[in-house]
Structure 1
Amino acid sequence: MSIWDSLTSCFWFSAENQRNTFASILAGVLFFTGWWFLIDAISVYGETTALQIILGIMGTASLIMVNSVSQAQINGDVAFNGGCLETRGARIWIFVGFVLGFAAIIAAVWTMIVRLNGSENKSSWPAISVLLQNVFIFLGSIVFKFGRSEESY
């Protein structure tokens, strides 16, 4: 019996949900790996700033914002009575989520450049880990948003 046969025999891994299952697992692994980079840098080097933590929280908030709006709400396919802005509000919400994710990546690049230029004797891994954290969280957000099929919802 191959590993594929053992995976497909699970009740949660039915044929119609394979795409959603793979996308969810991959997005979770990317999110976990992103936070693991920062946890590793903090535990090994002990150098942490509030900015490093805030950037990770910004990326996580971006993931939540982007994935809390369905594609049908953005397209206006369903009656969305979630406030005075309706479909426009859903589009603004996802736009702000993407802007927050890009802003976290840009700020991580900026902090990495400042750290790498400012110190000769310090390790560069804490600065690189913040950038990798935000890139992986953003990739996880993209995979979770666009990798799933929403027809069954």
Structure 2
Amino acid sequence: MSIGDCLENINLPPCVWFEGGDKRNAYASILSGFLFFAGWWTIIDAASVYQGKVEAGYHMCGVFGTLSLIIVNSLSNAQIRGDAYEGGCLGPRGSRVVLFLGFVIGFASVIASCWVLFAGFADSDTKWPGVALFLQNALIFIASIIYKFGRTEDLWA
């Protein structure tokens, strides 16, 4: 009797996670929303626990990361492909430029938060505010990517 014979009669239920395109859209939305929430929660926690360590200018990284998420996900995939975008002066090329600029803003906010982490908090005793700032921007950037490319089709098309 081999291991293959023992496992022959085991029936596993079908995996609900990968079933259908409409559920994939919902899961991508839920996961990206949770990551966005977790990113802002970490910086709010650090700012409330370590009052005075997180300066007001540090929050601009998160604001620009959020702006990047809005810019990137305001364009539909059909506009980027050129299927549904017929008007305007730039057409699909303009929507691709806007998508690129949105990702540049998001990546710049991650780089700026990394710079603040190493320049402002590497030699101090309390490193959590810098780590929280970096986590906030990294999670917002990942949420933007998951929401943009994790969906099979546009939600409102």
Residue aligning to 2:39: 34
Q: Which has the higher helix share?
A: 1
Is 2:145 aligned against 1:131? no
Change (3 A) 1:49 1:80: farther
Q: Which residue of 1 aligns with 2:28?
A: 23
Deviation (angstroms), 1:117: 3.7
2:153 is aligned to 150
Distance 2:26 2:85 in 1: 28
Q: Distance in 2 between matches of 1:15 and 1:117?
A: 46
Query: What's the TM-score once normalised by structure 2's chain length?
Result: 0.81
Cross-structure match for 2:55? 49
RMSD of aligned Cα (Å): 1.9
Q: Residue 115 in 1 paired to residue 120 in 2?
A: yes
Q: Identity over aligned residues, as a percent?
A: 48
CA distance in 2, matches of 1:88, 1:38: 36
Distance 2:145 2:126 in 1: 31
| 1:115 and 1:124 in contact (8 A); partners too | no
Distance apart, 1:16 and its partner CA: 5.0
In structure 2, runs of 5+ residues without a counterpart are 1-18
C-alpha distance in 1, partners of 2:79/2:31?
24
Tell me the distance in 1 between the aligned counterparts of 2:154 and 2:41: 33
* Displacement after TM superposition at 1:23 (Å): 0.5
Offset of 1:87 from its aligned partner?
1.1
Aligned length: 138
TM-score in terms of structure 1 length: 0.83
- After superposition, residues 60-99 of structure 1 pair within 5 angstroms as 60-81=66-87, 83-99=88-104
